[in-house]
Structure 1
Amino acid sequence: MLARMAANFYWLGRYVERTENTGRLLEYQLVRLVDTDADELALGWRVVYRTLSQPPPAAPADVDEAEAFLIADAYTLTGGLVEDTTNPASMISCWEMARENAREIRPRLPLRVWVCLNQGYLWLRETEFADVWAEGPVALVSQAIDRLRLLAGVVDSSMARDDAWRFLELGRYVERLQQQIVLLDVWDRIGRRGNEGPAAPWADLLRVCGAFEPYRRDRSLSLQREAVLGFLIRNPEISHSLRFATERIDAMLRGIHPGGARHPLAAPHRLVLRTAASLEASDASGFSSLIKDSWDLHDVIMATYVDYPVTARLPS
């Protein structure tokens, strides 16, 4: 496969995953608008914006004014992360970038995958945000998430398990690993209860990650910081756990470059194994080293499979 096409598949996977991640965070926040206190809403917006590396919104200090601001201006805050084409982190911008990467590799992409991706993008672009918001703040985001999950199902059922599919999946799970590490880090730092103000509930973190019910089945109803973070770091059966993403990345790399998994290990394989070992040894005391490893992993993948010198070639 040409390095250019591999990069397009890789970034297609990344942008699709990034769009869904933004949607999941917004869905969590918008569901809570009706019956949540103003200070808790403000905390929720800080979690959302910081996880997406966006400047957090500023709210008035007075409680009554803050409540009116955060409920009335939720429309503006949400719109900036859904339909604002000037914001590179918005859902429409990420979906558009996914579509552009798919357009570049259109001959290698099954028709059903392209149609599903393109229809979803056109639907979001042509939707009147104000009209859908009037029906319910969470409606548009929930529909977008459903369309993205439909796309994932079409990819799973339509694509051959070749290098095109592997690079697409590799991009998805590298993005998921990075985003989930940042989410856990932000939630842990903002969510710890201080002397004043609310803390982000650990149950809500589990719900954002789709892990609340599995946690209740496998653990007790007691939601302690160490137990929740350990569950979301090391549980191999939760699709948004760090271990699950790391194992999927390792599987895709082994398929792309089987020889890289043998001694001496190729750089991407070596870094994935180091990340997996760090996850097993992690005591949830901090995520800075994991964040660095996840970014380094992207750089190493690019250097190995995309940006290598033209005088070099990949091992056969």
Structure 2
Amino acid sequence: MAVPQRKLGANGPTVSSIGLGALGMSDLYGPADEAESIATIHEAIDSGINLIDTGDFYGSGHNEMLIGRALTQRNREDVVLSVKFGARRAPDGSFQPVPYDVSPAAVKDRLAYSLRRLGTDYIDIYRPSRLNPEIPLEDTLGALVEMQQAGYIRFIGLSEVGADTIRRASKVAQISDVQIEYSLLSRGPERAIIPTLRELGIGLTAYGVLSRGLLSGHWSADRNLSAGDFRASSPRFQSENLGHNLALVEALGQVASRLGATTSQVAIAWVAAQGEDIVPLVGARRRDRLEESLGASTLHLDERALSEIAQAIPAGAAAGERYAAGQMATLDSEK
């Protein structure tokens, strides 16, 4: 199956219309099989997915090393690597309290480790995972521009930032894309962020397009979460919220059934249908889930389908925030 391509922003790279988010292969979603993860990365590349997203803190570096091993068996030039930095981990694997370290010194230090773990001499898109209000954005971007000029990174991205910050950043550096959660259950970016990105010619890479599995069509109310699965503390997976949200997913499933598609395929295709400047990231950890997600790349949603989807899951219909209150308070994109 050939995956269509689209340009990531006016000045960004050309990428597949669906990208692979690798977080779940190393972190936060319970155990993952390493051999299967590498096989999934290989199948993604062989199927035409060239955008792979990771973070240096995913699995405390494990995710980058995993991707690095996978890439030894594929052509590096066929892959667009998107890497986030800034979050800190403790030896026991827990996340260190905010603020994130996005100082100029950290930009260069973390980049050095990422290059080594990934086994490459450049990263295609490098971005701070979150901002630190105590570190001027201009300082962080200045260091990124310096690394870009030195050839260590090709494009500069941002993550979870609001419209005002996007405008401010665009005056300092050429931004390829902003990575943010965007799905049928997370419509916040539509208010100000997406219009600002389009005005400035900046792309959007959407994570959480299946809302951490809620929109996959594979979730059940009685599912037990394994130790370390962060969804156990996610408001949308809590008691009454979960029941409400699964009812929305059931309605979406009825639309999918009419279209001869799966619920997750419709959810992914809906994100991609919101504009040629938007690229959904799918967090498939297994080849069968990847194959299902790939079906979304050729699923056309006509006006009738889009209307039915809007009726099934209206904007703002989700119960519960996308993160716990403490995390929501730190997001520049939510201000």
Same fold (TM over 0.5): no
* Bigger-Rg structure (1/2): 1
Which has a greater percent of strand?
Answer: 2
* Greater helix fraction, Structure 1 or Structure 2: 1
TM-score using structure 1 length:
0.32
